[in-house]
Structures are given as structure tokens and as C-alpha cells.
Structure 1
């Protein structure tokens, strides 16, 4: 389990879109196969969802001590996408990259559990 005393300096953001009628099924799959393993490695994880008329967008933000720690999980190129086995079945299009951002300021309770 991640050391909670460490402070994140990096956020890694992944986005994916699914057809609205499959959003609940994908949410459950994403949690079990993608989020749970990530929770064991990252300092923190947030999984967000926006439902629209025809599609739902999922955003996963993971927080890391530094790029080296993130690379131990994501590989030598932390921007490289690691698609889950069933992502081609669910996602409207497979993401080509993730965003990696430096955390400049973080304050307060971000919610979630």
C-alpha cells in the first residue's frame, strides 16, 4: 500500500468515453480491473464520471510522489496508455495518451472515499 505520509507532486490524468447505455457496466469493470490495482500503487486516486445524452466520460486522476514513482507503475514512458483488456469493447475510441501535470497547490478535502 502507498505511503500516505508522502506528498504527491504529480497528477496523471486518463480520460475515456463510453456509450451511455454501457456506462454502468464499464464503471464496475473499470473499478475492479483498473482502479483497485492503481489504489495499491498511487498515493491517491480519483475516478470521475460525467453522463451526457449519448455518452459518459470517465476521468481517472492518480497522484504520485514524483515521475520516478509513477514510472515504476506506468513504465519508462508514463504518458503511455495501458489499456485494460476489455477497453476496446467499451470505449468509443482508445485514448492515445494521458496528461501528466505538476501539482502547484492542493488544499482541502477532495471528497470521495
Structure 2
């Protein structure tokens, strides 16, 4: 993948703190690994709070059309993983799709 990222797709989900480690492992296997094969780049974040943990995944794409080829449909529509309902406090209703205006520095 030699293209330049012009689009960032941001997904957020929250889980109970006591099952956050299990969800992190599941999310990596079922969600992150497939993204790593298709997206130009992927970042996954976790914030632990007193009773819950929030996960944020940002994937980088050449275009909205490239995202659509990966999702097989509308890339702005949420695509839940098979076990998300088991882990997440609530199922996210949307993702955020942003145009990248400026990018500077190293992120690794």
C-alpha cells in the first residue's frame, strides 16, 4: 500500500473495566488484525477509568472508496464484531470519518 492517507476512520467503544483485558485481546484478533491487512495504518488506544475502559481505533485510508472496499458497504456505517454485544457497555451507533488536513511528526 503506497498511497497517502487522506481519511481517518475513528471507532469508539466502552467495556466494563473487569473484562477490558479480555476485550482488548478479542478486539486485536477480530478487529485490528483484519484492519492491519487493508488499511494504510491503524492505531488502537485504551483508557482505563474506575469502572470502565474506553477503546478507540483509528484507521487511515487513501479514500472513502478504499474504506468501502474493505467494509463491503457504507464505511460510515458501524460494523460490529460478532462478540461486541457480549463485551461492550453499549453498541456504538456510528463511526467518525475525518479528512486529514495536516499530519506532522512521527507516531510510532
TM over 0.5: yes
TM-score normalised by L of structure 2: 0.97
Match of 1:65 in 2: 62
Unpaired runs of at least 5, structure 2 = none
**Structure 1 residue 68, shift from structure 2 partner:** 0.7
**4+ residue runs over 2 A deviation:** none
Unpaired runs of at least 5, structure 1 = none
| Cα deviation digits, residues 44-90 of structure 1 (max 9, x gap) | 00000000000000000000001110111123311111111110000
In terms of mean alpha carbon deviation, does 70-79 or 33-42 score higher? Answer: 70-79
Structure-1 separation of matches of 2:69 and 2:13: 23
8 Å CA contact 1:74, 1:80 repeated in 2 = no
State yes or no: 1:94 paired with 2:91.
yes
Match of 2:107 in 1: 110
Q: How many residues align?
A: 108
Instruction: Please report the RMSD computed on the Cα atoms of aligned residues, expressed in angstroms.
Output: 0.7
Structure-1 separation of matches of 2:3 and 2:75: 20
- Identify which of 28, 33, 42 aligns with 2:30: 33
- Identify which of 51, 54, 61 aligns with 2:51: 54
